Structures are given as structure tokens and as C-alpha cells.
Structure 1
Amino acid sequence: MSQDFRLPDLGEGLPDAELVSWLVAEGDEVALNQNIAEVETAKAVIELPSPFAGTVQKLHHAAGDVVEVGEVLITFGGGEPDAAAPAAADEDAAEEEEKATPNLVGYGAAPRKSARPQRRARAARTGGAGTGAETAVLEAAPHDAIVEQPLERPIERPRSTPPVRKLAKDLGIDLALVEATGATGLITRADVEAYAARVGLDAHPAADEARTAGAAGTGQSVAAGREAAPGERVTRIPIRGVRKVTAQAMVRSAFTAPHVTTFHTVDITETMRLVASLKADRSLEGHRIGVMAVAAKAVCLALGRNPSLNAKWDADAGEIVEHHYVNLGIAAATERGLIVPVIPDADAMTLVELADAITELAQVARSGKTPPSAMTGGTFSITNFGVFGVEAGTPILNPGESGILGLGSVARRPWEHDGEIALRDVMTLSLSFDHRLVDGAEGSRFLVDVARVLEEPGRAMLLR
């Protein structure tokens, strides 16, 4: 009996996805929830888990194909038959309906609604033919799911992100043995690396960081970095995926919101001293608290005093919507283009929590695994073009946001300080805002509030 797996809706109502690579080949045996392919949507690269167990009969598309949602992606054969007696016709119909509508990516196989799992579980407890099937289901279950198995209580699989699961797989580590150290219970890359160090495995975190940092630092796409063939005068690159959607969003933003950009050069010597002292603090070892984190904290404080910068223009409703929370977007340059993942409720975080969130966000973005849901709902954004050595720029607003702050490079310059000329660390802030919501005075006040925190980080203790 053959089973077709059709490309499911990967979120955001996106109509199609590009097949990046197959992780299986025709003739391979595939377990339930085993990753079978990588696909790139308009916002992220996603690993597709198989909703079926069986043999790969046919791959219907090749790498590079753009596949419409609902198209058959792969056909399986040789599925394991049920150990129980034939079920009623209505159960068969319900099961066929489930096969035709696979569950969304990230949730594993869709739960069955018939009575067959219970019968198979009973067969497993009595040593019947269902034992192997139940063991396979348990082993292949998604890490955030609870799976029925032949014990008195269910087993909860460890929760983690796709890049972390890949790292654990590459190192041969069972995530069930790794302890999550964070408050959310999510197993992070640091947790896996710490476990690897304890058991004597070499995770090469430093080398991996260098590779990902280099990829993100260039800001170039894989296609843009290709070498031209001898004699080739032009190279044509399809406009797809992240770069296509980013371009559409930027054009829409530029031609719907009247942009104004204002600049302010700030003496951030005290912030640099704070960062250096925190880096030297052994109690904060493992937390990468840099200028970006301090700037993010300053932005959250300044938005509380300048709510028009944390608002959106709702043309359909004829309203200005002010947000009483900050979902902070952090622009990240990746191999596939610029994306802006969001830190929810950033205003409720401490400086250390913000730094950890920025670090995790950057690691996931560089891996290309940022889910579409993590790039929506932002209320204000920060972009750091200073990492490229650029002093200032005119950042374009994300659609639906009224402000974006650009951080320039930090330079050591002669600067007036306490009535004298001294070498100081200075940085230029570039604030773009929607002039429909924010006038020049409001934008300037916000920028000055951010600057004051960066000039004197202790001033943050006085703001709320």
C-alpha cells in the first residue's frame, strides 16, 4: 500500500516552498518523524519530518524545485500493517482522511483518532506483533510530544530547536540525557556542548561559531557568492525565498510610510567600560553581554517614555495602535538574506536575559532555521550595521512598525569630555521613523533618551 505525503502549509499561509535538499533517497527505509527534506519558505529553511514509516518509493521533485502547497512531495510504500483485526469502514475512512492532510511541520505526525493505537498498545503489552511498531513510534516521536507507550505513565521527550537536535545527532548524543539549564526547559546549544564536554566529546564550538559568524558577517547570499563560469558575462539568480519577501516588504514600507531619519553621535565610553567589566565577571561567564544588549535595554526604556515610536498605523481601522509591550526585532544578516527575528516582551527582560535572547536568536538565524512565527509581531527593530564598519545609515522600517534604530561602528576619537579633549569611544545612532505617527520632536526625544543610557548606563536605574 502506497502513501503520498503532500507539502503541508508551513505557516503564514505561504503558497509554496523551494525544495533545498532531500535527506533520503528512493529505496530508503524511513521512520516516523524522521526528517526527509529541507525546504525554504519565504521566511526560513525548515526540516520536514515524515508523517509515515515505510520505504521511499518515489521522490516527486528535485532540489531547486518550487513546490506548491498540496502537491505530492514523496510516496512511501510498505507501511507496517495493523496487528489487530480489520477495523470498521468508518475507521478506515477517517484514517485515509488523516493521511491526505498531514499535520503542520514541527508537530510531528498527526494524532490518530481511531481505536487502533489502543489495540496496538495492548498487543505490545502482551508481547504481540505490535511491539516493534510501538518502539519505533516512541523512538521517532517529536521532542516536545508526549507519546503513548506500554508503561503506566507517558514519557515526555526533551524539547529543543532543529539546530540543536542536528548538533546532538552529529555528536551521537541522545537529547533525553541532556539537562536543560534555562528557565523555559528548552535544551540549548550550550546545554549540548556542556554535556559533550562532560562525556569527553569534542563539540568544536569555537570553530563552529567562527564559521557561522563569518557567514553572517558577509551578508551575502549563497547564490551571490558563486563564481562565474569561464567566459560567462552575467549570472542570473532566481529571486526566491527570504530575499524576495524582504524586497517586497522594503518596497511596500518605503512607498507607504513617509520615512524620516535623524542621527546622533554618542559618547559610549561608559557603556564600553560596563561591557568590559561584565565580561570579566566570573558569575556572568557564558553570557555574551555586548553593546547590542545594552542598546536593546536602552531602547526598551526609551519606548516606555515615547510610546508613539512603539505604535503602528492601522489604515483599515483609521487608528493609531500604541503597544504597551515591546516585541523587539533584531535584524540579522544571513546567507539567505536579511531577516528580523523578534524577541517577545523584551521590555520585561533584564540585561542578561536580553543578551541571552540576542545570542540565541543570532545562532538560530545563522543556521537558517528561524521559524516564520519568530519573525512576526514586532513593534520596533534594531539593526547593527556597525559590525560591517559602517558609521551611519538610513534604515528602512519594517512594515507595521513606526521606528527602527541603526547602530553604527564604535570608533575611538578625540572628543570633548569634562571641558577637555580626550580619546573617547563614540558611536552614531540612526533613527528612522514613520512621520505619520512620529514628528521630529518625538523622534529626537526618543533618540536622546537612548543616547543618555548609552552615555551613562547607570541612568537606566532612574528610568521606567
Structure 2
Amino acid sequence: MPEVKEFRLPDLGEGLTEAEIVRWLVEVGEVVAVDQPVVEVETAKAMVEVPCPYGGVVTARFGAEGTELPVGAPLLTVAVGASPVDASASTGEEPEASGNVLVGYGTGAPAARRRRVRRPGVGASPTPDGAVGSADGSAAAGGPAVPDGPEAGGHRRARSYGPGAAAAEGVAGAGGEFVGRGAAPGVAAGGSRLSGSTGPVPVVSPLVRKMAREHGVDLRELTGTGRDGLILRADVERAVRAAADAAAAPPAPAAATAVPAGEGAERIPLRGLRGAVAEKLGRSRREIPDATCWVDADATELLAARRAMNAGGGPKVSLLALLARICTAALARYPDLNSTVDTEAREIVRLPGVHLGFAAQTERGLVVPVVRDAHLRNAAGLSAEIARLTEAARSGTLTPADLTGGTFTLNNYGVFGVDGSTPIINHPEAAMLGVGRIAPKPWVHQGELAVRHVVQLSFTFDHRVCDGGTAGGFLRYVADCVEQPAVLLRSL
């Protein structure tokens, strides 16, 4: 008999706790191989494909496209050994799982095997996507047991000791949320204590429990519209709307100043990448007392230097790479700007290396890939790495590690055809250099009026880290290097 394995949304790293299903890559009944990508999800950091650590036949999928799932929630179930997915099946052996617990990386060792355990009296019912889940919303009841180690999707096994410990055994999910095989009396499988009678509540998924907690909905007061009384997401949403309607009162006079949404208004959820950007920028504005200074610089000589570099053959050096090299040289002179503020310890933490972030526009919005150890790279090396990260950003293949850990950001908003800007610091960094478009303008050069290629440079800095003198010195040095690239020779 084939053994049904459950694959849960694995830990995606970098503190990510949820992801949105963008596109299923497999169908129910389809044969999958070990480590084959089965679903494409969008996290707050990037779009990634999730590989399944089991080989066999897909028996169920949990969640439709567009559904947001927490880490540890069931993704799909696979009947291992139900179809010859590799050579081992022809010998009667069961295909081994890879133990994959992190997107893009396999452990290389099979996970420990556990026998399936069925609890008497607990039936199974289908989810809206055709998946089969347990009546209390946990996939373990009436299905495969949740194993220790990698088979649990990268989550640790949680056990309660003392009275009722056997009923409360399960898996600790994201943020310590309890997703168990049943629950102790009066406690839901999601870990929230419920009023009224004891016993499990028939809920379709952890997402439904999360919604109920966030909106203060008592699941025991709901009548599920799913099969066998299963509580669906629509049931919770209906209860939330009913509560909002009941609490609605005639508008107060002050409400007349509010801007109504109006008919036909479109609401766009702030989640995924856009939500992460909104949260980070909002936090930057709340926490960082920033200030901005700017200067116009004659970039004619910098453009000439780039043409001379590229005329010699070999890989081309981009203008952004030259500006990045100027930034690393300036940060070597003004190391206070390559730092972060530890607010709890009331300390400025000066960082040893420069991990340079740069803004890249993609179809999914603006992202900031990070060039690691930029201070150790020359212009050619910076150009190659920037090109690699830009291509990965446009194709949606950046990893969470590619988007985190920056210490300073270079924002080339000139590509949008604008001259200047006052950028928001990329929290928790201390500064950002903005570069406007390079355009021909009248300029006094060597005492005479001439047409030169001029660029506006803006510099936004955390005023807790330095004063205007340090910021002005940094920006002036950058401008001098733009106007006279030979200044860089001193630091090469």
C-alpha cells in the first residue's frame, strides 16, 4: 500500500512567516519526482518555486492560487510508492524523501519514516481545492502522522507534558503557533482557547483560524457551510462583515471630513512584496530622523572615462558600477555612514564591510538587491555583479539572501527621467545616495559658459549617526569623483 506523505510550506528563511500561492505547478493525480518544484509562491522578499521532498502521486492540494498560507501549513499530499517515479519503485522499494526543508536546498539525507496513525471517530472531509483534511483542521488526524525533523516542513515537534499531553501532541508552527493532532480540552488546534463546549472545531485550514483570531471571531459560534459542517474562509468573512454591520452607527459630524471610497474604487491588498516595502518605509519614517542635502555635479569627465574603459575591449563597465565604486571609496573616508543604530542599546554600530544595495525596477515593483562585500570589488567586478542581480530581479529569481543585509543603498532614480528626489532611507541603514538623470545643461566650465552633462546628487542620512558636516563631506567627495574621476586613483 502506498504511504501518503504530507508536505507543508517550509521555512523560507530570513524570518519569513507566510507566503502567497501564485501558481500551482502540478495537478492532483500527477506524478512528481523528489525535489521537483510543485508550487510557485510569493513571499515578502521574492518569488520562489518550492520543491517537494517526496516522490509519488499528488493526492491533494491545499489552497487555491491567491491564497496566503503561514509557514507550516499543508501544501499538498503525495502517495509515495503509488506510481513508479524512479528506478527504486521497480524493485519494490519506496522512493526516499530528500528531507528538503528550505527552498532551493536539500539536506541530502532521507527523513525518518513514521507510521500513519488514524484517530477513531475523526472523519476526513474535502477542502475547496479538492484536498482532504481532518475535521479539526489539522492534517495529521485521519492522515499521516507528523514526523520529527525535516519531514515536518522544517518545524520542531512540540509536546505538552502532564495531564492531557497525549491529546496535545503536534507541531509548533510559525511564531510558536500550535498546529496539533487534536487539542487539549477547550483549546483549538490553532492554539487559541475557545468558549463553550470542548473538543475540536471543524476548520478547513490554519489560515481560517488565523483570520478568526485577527478579527475576534469565536469559531464555536459559527455554522460551517462546508461538507460535514466544515468552517470555511467564507464563513469567517461573513461573520466579520456581519459584526461590522452590527457595529455600524450613524456617521458622526466629524466623519464628513473623511474621504469616501466612492463607487468603483479598487482596493489593492498591501501584501507580498508591496506590503513588505510599505512596512519597511513606514518604519523608516517613524524611527529615523533623516535629513537630505544635494549638489549638482558636472559628469562630463565621468562619461568620457567610461567610454575610454569600454573602448579597450572586454566586459563593459556600467555607469552604475562606477558610481558604486565611488560610493565605496567615499564610505572608506566616512565610515560612520556605513552603520546602523541599535536603539535598545543606544549605540551606533559601525559595520566592517560595505554590502551595497541598489534599486532595480521590475514588473513586480522596485526591489533592492545587495552586492556583497562591495568594498572588495573593482569597477569591473561591481559591474558584473550588478548585471547578475538585475537579471535575477527581472526574472523573479532573487533569493531572500539577495535582498537582505545591505549597509548602504545607491538609488539611481535618474533612469525614470527625473532630476532630483529626497529618498527614504532603507531601514535599518543610515544613509542613501540618490542619482538623478545626466542631462546636457548650460554650465560654467573653466570660466566660460558651455554645454556640459550635469547630474544632481542627493544624500539622505540619519541625523543620529552624523551631523551635516560629515554628510556634506561625503557628498562633496562623491561629486568631486564624478567631476574628476582621477580623484579615485588615490584609493585604487
TM over 0.5: yes
Q: Does 1:381 align with 2:409?
A: yes
Residues 386 and 407 of structure 1 are in contact (CA less than 8 Å); yes or no, is this contact kept in structure 2?
yes
Q: Does 1:331 align with 2:359?
A: yes
Aligned to 2:157: none
Q: Distance in 1 between matches of 2:433 and 2:327?
A: 9
| Change beyond 3 A, Cα 1:324–1:30 | same
Q: Does 1:57 align with 2:59?
A: yes
Aligned to 2:4: 2
Q: Distance in 2 between matches of 1:403 and 1:305?
A: 15
Q: Distance in 1 between matches of 2:92 and 2:406?
A: 53
Q: Distance in 2 between matches of 1:77 and 1:109?
A: 21
User: Shift of the alpha carbon at 1:288?
Assistant: 3.8
- 1:363-417 Cα offsets, whole Å, 9 max, x none, are 1111122111122221110111100001000011111211100110010011111
User: Shift of the alpha carbon at 1:68?
Assistant: 1.4
User: Shift of the alpha carbon at 1:334?
Assistant: 2.0
Q: Distance in 2 between matches of 1:237 and 1:16?
A: 18
Residues 50 and 109 of structure 1 are in contact (CA less than 8 Å); yes or no, is this contact kept in structure 2?
no
- 1:314-340 Cα offsets, whole Å, 9 max, x none, are 112221111231110111222222221
Q: Distance in 2 between matches of 1:75 and 1:48?
A: 14
Q: Distance in 2 between matches of 1:86 and 1:57?
A: 20
Q: Does 1:24 align with 2:22?
A: no
Aligned to 2:452: 424
Aligned to 2:311: 280
User: Shift of the alpha carbon at 1:276?
Assistant: 2.0
Residues 433 and 460 of structure 2 are in contact (CA less than 8 Å); yes or no, is this contact kept in structure 1?
yes
Q: Distance in 1 between matches of 2:77 and 2:107?
A: 16
Residues 9 and 104 of structure 1 are in contact (CA less than 8 Å); yes or no, is this contact kept in structure 2?
yes
- 1:40-93 Cα offsets, whole Å, 9 max, x none, are 011100111111111111111111000111111011114267789999xxxxxx
Match of 1:257 among 282, 288, 292: 288
User: Shift of the alpha carbon at 1:296?
Assistant: 0.4
The residue type paired with residue 18 of structure 1 is E
Residues 23 and 38 of structure 1 are in contact (CA less than 8 Å); yes or no, is this contact kept in structure 2?
yes
Residues 52 and 109 of structure 1 are in contact (CA less than 8 Å); yes or no, is this contact kept in structure 2?
no
Q: Distance in 1 between matches of 2:263 and 2:80?
A: 48
Q: Distance in 1 between matches of 2:276 and 2:293?
A: 27
Aligned to 1:44: 46
Match of 2:17 among 15, 18, 31: 15
Aligned to 1:390: 418
| Change beyond 3 A, Cα 1:86–1:269 | closer
- 1:12-49 Cα offsets, whole Å, 9 max, x none, are 22111000001111111111111111000111001111
Aligned to 2:160: none
Unaligned runs of 5+ in 2: 114-261
Aligned to 1:105: 103
Q: Does 1:447 align with 2:475?
A: yes
- 1:265-323 Cα offsets, whole Å, 9 max, x none, are 100101111222233332x2xx3422211110000000000111111111122211112
Match of 1:268 among 285, 299, 305: 299
Q: Which moved more, 1:323-332 or 1:104-113?
A: 104-113
Q: Distance in 2 between matches of 1:359 and 1:113?
A: 39
Q: Report the secondary structure of 1:378's partner residue.
A: coil
Q: Report the secondary structure of 1:2's partner residue.
A: strand
Q: Distance in 2 between matches of 1:82 and 1:109?
A: 22
Q: Report the secondary structure of 2:475's partner residue.
A: helix
Q: Distance in 2 between matches of 1:340 and 1:371?
A: 12
> For the pair shown, which has the larger CA radius of gyration, 1 or 2?
2
The residue type paired with residue 112 of structure 1 is P
Residues 35 and 100 of structure 2 are in contact (CA less than 8 Å); yes or no, is this contact kept in structure 1?
no
Taking the TM superposition and a 5 Å limit, the aligned residue runs for 1:96-245 are 102-108=100-106, 110-112=108-110, 233-245=264-276
Match of 2:442 among 414, 418, 421: 414
The residue type paired with residue 293 of structure 1 is A
Aligned to 1:349: 377
| Change beyond 3 A, Cα 1:241–1:440 | same
Residues 52 and 100 of structure 2 are in contact (CA less than 8 Å); yes or no, is this contact kept in structure 1?
no
- 1:179-228 Cα offsets, whole Å, 9 max, x none, are xxxxxxxxxxxxxxxxxxxxxxxxxxxxxxxxxxxxxxxxxxxxxxxxxx
Q: Distance in 1 between matches of 2:62 and 2:280?
A: 32
Unaligned runs of 5+ in 1: 88-94, 116-230
Q: Report the secondary structure of 1:338's partner residue.
A: strand
Q: Distance in 2 between matches of 1:49 and 1:103?
A: 9
Residues 35 and 52 of structure 2 are in contact (CA less than 8 Å); yes or no, is this contact kept in structure 1?
yes
Higher relative contact order structure (alpha carbons within 8 Å, sequence separation ≥ 6): 1
Q: Report the secondary structure of 2:306's partner residue.
A: helix
Percent sequence identity over aligned pairs: 42
Residues 51 and 110 of structure 1 are in contact (CA less than 8 Å); yes or no, is this contact kept in structure 2?
no
Q: Distance in 2 between matches of 1:16 and 1:441?
A: 43
Q: Distance in 1 between matches of 2:23 and 2:329?
A: 44
Q: Distance in 2 between matches of 1:23 and 1:333?
A: 26
Q: Report the secondary structure of 2:317's partner residue.
A: coil
User: Shift of the alpha carbon at 1:233?
Assistant: 2.4
Q: Distance in 1 between matches of 2:319 and 2:466?
A: 26
The residue type paired with residue 15 of structure 1 is T
The residue type paired with residue 395 of structure 1 is P
Residues 5 and 102 of structure 1 are in contact (CA less than 8 Å); yes or no, is this contact kept in structure 2?
no
Q: Distance in 2 between matches of 1:69 and 1:313?
A: 30
Q: Which has the higher helix share?
A: 1
User: Shift of the alpha carbon at 1:113?
Assistant: 6.5
Aligned length: 337
Q: Report the secondary structure of 1:235's partner residue.
A: coil
Residues 100 and 106 of structure 2 are in contact (CA less than 8 Å); yes or no, is this contact kept in structure 1?
no
Q: Report the secondary structure of 1:382's partner residue.
A: strand
- 1:227-277 Cα offsets, whole Å, 9 max, x none, are xxxx98222222111110111111111111101000011001011112222
User: Shift of the alpha carbon at 1:114?
Assistant: 7.0
Match of 2:79 among 53, 62, 77: 77
